[in-house]
Chains A and B, each alone.
Chain A
Amino acid sequence: MKEVPDTVVCPGCDAVYACAPLHPRDVARCPRCGTELGRHPGEQERRILPLTVASLIMFAIANLFPIVEIELRGLTSQTTLVGAVMALSAEGMSAVALLVLATTILFPLLQLCILAYLLVPLSREHRPVGFALLVRAMQSLRPWGMIEVFLLGVLVAIVKLSSMATVVPGPALWAFVALTVLLTAVLSFNPGAFWEMKFRPAGQADDGDSSGSGGGGGSADRASA
């Protein structure tokens, strides 16, 4: 078994291509089936850790404070995301509660924590324990985090209730809006780039970092290939 360098296989149609260096903002697509093969990482790599930390803070606010409060004839009721999950499981809807818990809390939190865990040591050119397993987990979790869908769900629920009661948005609602925006930026980072970092010999690690920031380095260009 021998590695074939500078080659990419289209995951959509199996066509084989030779890697060409990508310029900033380039997106390489398979001309046969249109699947994205790679894109230039740009300046994203250095911005991703601060964005991840900001996302974790927003995530905490979004889950600790009530999302909305309703008022009906002097009686009020409010809920957090966890509260909604608990209410579902109390009604015997454990499967649905688990699905909501996983897609809106567990998976996004796992993704953010894995990303932070992998990125902090990388700034010191050090590969953390469990690297391969965690990068693979991040790639597999990708389709299952649904914060943005949940946000749309909250908006639909608010409109639905507004005819029946007075609806007051809570602090967590704004946190969810911010979290959705932040997550879009964080998750646009291709975890495939981690595999290229892993392969840098320890002595050349510093060079690799500087060429990545310059935007023209060969190893950085092939990050997603």
Chain B
Amino acid sequence: MKLLDYVRPHAHHEDDDAPPVPTSASLGLMACRHCAAVWKGAQDGDACARCGTRLHVRKPQSLKRTWAFLIAACMMYIPANMLPVMITRTLFGAQYDTILSGVIYFWVSGAWGLAAIVFIASFLVPLFKLAVLFLLVVLAQRGSTWRQRERASLYHIIEIIGRWSMLDVFVVSLLTGLVQIQGFAVITAGVGIAAFGAVVVLTMLASLSFDPKLSWDSEEAQALAQEQENQHGHENRDEKPA
């Protein structure tokens, strides 16, 4: 691993025991989220001169959008777990399976490894994602500096594991396409799987619209304010009341 050096234009502050980390916001820079080009003197909403993407200091309306997707996902989470995701009709009658009854079926029939995989991917991961996003959004909104490094790790984790919740959607789709032996066994998809797919897509959209930079802003804003205070001293304070 190669560490990169901080750009340190404010070298005269090095006597402080913990100098603030220079950020693009504090230096007046803007980075393109697609091609990573860094621009000086760009306005929010300008197009990147290299790839044409609109430049923003932070993802626009990040917290509002994340809240919207998060609340929608929470609402869909209830039908996703209560309604049947798969209906099996055999000669002996119909069987309605929910996400958890599918897990229990695997567990009882001795396929413990599979039961664990499905339980983690379909039940724990969405729940974990909702909880983490809720935590991240609330803390970012309050400008909290609490455990920022761990919050960044949590964000990385939910970005990686989120997609694996689609597992049950694919299982049900394949079984629906495959088990169509009229008269003997027919598997159809239940409404629950639509709600479940919606939860996965909505949580993915929520984590994509959340800007992880917001988790670090409070510290920066404080550091920046302190820096400006150090630079301008008492003069500004006297002028401000106007």
Contact = CB atoms under 8 A, between A and B. Distances in A.
A202 interface: no
Q: Which of the listed residues B25, B41, B159, B177 has the most CB atoms from chain A within 10 Å of its own CB? A: B177
Contacts of A152: 117, 121, 164, 167, 170
A70 interface: yes
Contacts of B189: 88, 91, 93, 96
B220 interface: yes
A32 to B, nearest CB: 6
Nearest to B2: A26
A9 B31 contact: yes
Contacts of B197: 95-96, 99
B40 interface: yes
A158 B185 CA distance: 16
Nearest to B23: A14
B226 interface: no
A1 to B, nearest CB: 5
Contact of A67 (B49, B106, B174, B194): B174
Nearest to B109: A163
Interface residues of B, number: 80
A34 B163 contact: no
B169 interface: yes
A16 B212 contact: no
B13 interface: no
Given A11-B33, A99-B197, A136-B34, A17 B2 contact: no
Q: Is the interface of A mostly helix, strand, loop or mixed?
A: mixed
A4 B184 CA distance: 68
A78 interface: yes
B4 A84 contact: no
A199 to B, nearest CB: 7
A139 B174 contact: no
Contact of B37 (A70, A73, A195): A195
Contacts of A14: 23-25, 213, 216-217, 220
Contacts of B176: 84, 87-88, 91, 93
Interface in B167-214: 167-171, 173-181, 184-185, 188-189, 193-194, 197-198, 201, 204, 208, 212-213
A135 B167 CA distance: 28
A100 B175 CA distance: 13
A225 to B, nearest CB: 6
Interface string B35-46: 111111110001
Contact of A96 (B25, B41, B194, B213): B194
A7 B173 contact: no
B50 A104 contact: no
Given A16-B6, A72-B181, 14 more contacts: A1-B41, A4-B29, A12-B213, A20-B2, A28-B4, A84-B174, A87-B180, A88-B189, A95-B194, A99-B197, A100-B169, A136-B51, A157-B175, A165-B179
18 contacts: A3-B39, A12-B152, A18-B4, A20-B5, A33-B212, A34-B156, A84-B178, A88-B173, A91-B188, A96-B194, A100-B170, A103-B166, A146-B170, A149-B170, A152-B121, A163-B109, A195-B51, A199-B50
